[in-house]
Amino acid sequence: MGLDDKLVRKKLEVLLKDEALVEKYLRVFGPRLDMNNITKLKQDQLKSGQGGSTGEKDDPTYQIKVKCPICSQADIICYEIKAKSLASAPDRFLVPRYSGVKPFRTINYSLFSVTVCPSCLFASPDKKDFITFSVQVRAENKSQLSPFVLEELRKRVDERKKLVTAADFTQYFAHPRSADVGISSYRLAIHRALVEATLETPLAWYKAGMYSLKIALLTRDAGRDDTPFLKDAVNYLAKSFRNSELKNPELEYQLLYLLAALFLRLEDQTQCQNYLGVLEKWRSEQEKAAKDNPAVNSAHVTRWLDKAKELWTDRELPDLWKH
């Protein structure tokens, strides 16, 4: 985004006072200021607000439209979070719980963060996996997924449709979504990630594991047993660790914490201690290296090791996993 485009966005934010309207303006009219277009957009928004709850000022989300890279279905609704509208706090497995920041209402964004194509059920919480439209150059941005992955996903439409029992996919994945529909959306996202994994796409196992943790939280909040999904998560995340998918050291420390936490929750204390041991080893190595090189910082590994040790210390507490 050039300097002029950024200036236009800043002025639109002041004039429209609504990030969703800013995004809509840029999508429709491009990065050019026109007071007539601004006035028209405000009037259209006011009319739609009088017709129902869609577009309520306290809604922390806004919509963008994307295109499916598999079947070319256009105008698929993708929900994005407005800036500074939701606060989030991670649970023990680092899955965010959301709360509204006034004047915005609280919603569980995890329920509809996955965008689903209603035709072929391609699904992802990352809009870059879809075909998007650039308002700066007035052209489409291709999916970030490789052509090999997309071709493999085209062959597996029937597999995805067997994962969902619904007569009308468009209505089934509409917003608002129930816990069961939110879970279905993440199951479809896992299907995509596992296809990526078969083609050795970077971070594929990690993504499948983190999607499984989202399902586990939605299941737990619905009052059901989350154990099967935690087992899926630990399986995928362990494969991510073995394949050295995370090239960022701090993310690797975080991954080791997650594996220790999951095995502790699944009552496999031996495996939990194994991953704690890896963190201990890495911290010792960094502390030793820091003696010769002051640039080496062991703070990150220490942070995640301390968090894992805290869980181990509190492992007998009855409400440890309710947070």
Look at residue 37 and tell me whether its pLDDT is greater than 60.
Answer: yes
With b meaning 16 or more CB within 10 Å and e meaning fewer, what string describes 156-190?
A: bbeebeeebeeeebeebbeeebebebbbbbbbbbb
Q: What mean pLDDT comes out for the span 50-69?
A: 72
Q: How confident is the model at residue 48 (pLDDT cuts 50, 70, 90)?
A: very low
**Per-residue pLDDT tens digits for 247-271:** 899 999 999 999 999 999 999 999 9
| Per-residue confidence (pLDDT) for residue 3, from 0 to 100 | 46
On whether the CB atoms of residues 78 and 124 are closer than 8 A, the answer is no
Q: How confident is the model at residue 47 (pLDDT cuts 50, 70, 90)?
A: low
Task: Specify the range with the lowest mean pLDDT, choosing from 134-138, 154-158, 179-183.
Answer: 134-138
* Higher per-residue pLDDT: 239 or 6: 239
Q: How confident is the model at residue 43 (pLDDT cuts 50, 70, 90)?
A: low
| Per-residue confidence (pLDDT) for residue 323, from 0 to 100 | 61
Look at residue 54 and tell me whether its pLDDT is greater than 90.
Answer: no
| Per-residue confidence (pLDDT) for residue 45, from 0 to 100 | 62
Task: Specify the range with the lowest mean pLDDT, choosing from 14-28, 242-256, 262-276.
Answer: 14-28
Residues 134, 136, 139, 140, Cα dihedral to 10°: -20
Look at residue 135 and tell me whether its pLDDT is greater than 90.
Answer: no
On whether the CB atoms of residues 267 and 315 are closer than 8 A, the answer is no
Q: What is the pTM of this model?
A: 0.82
**Per-residue pLDDT tens digits for 182-213:** 999 999 999 999 999 999 999 999 999 999 99
Strand stretches in 7-75, DSSP E: 61-66
Percent of the chain past pLDDT 70, that is, above it, reads 91
**Per-residue pLDDT tens digits for 65-105:** 999 999 999 999 999 999 889 999 999 999 999 999 988 98
Distance of CA 239 to the CA centre of its chain: 20
Tell me the average pLDDT of the chain.
Answer: 89
Residue 304 burial class via C-beta count within 10 angstroms: exposed 0-12, middle 13-18, buried 19 and up: buried
Q: Is the dihedral of CA 101, 105, 110, 113 positive or negative?
A: negative
* Higher per-residue pLDDT: 229 or 222: 229
Residue among 310, 287, 291 nearest 300 (CA)? 287
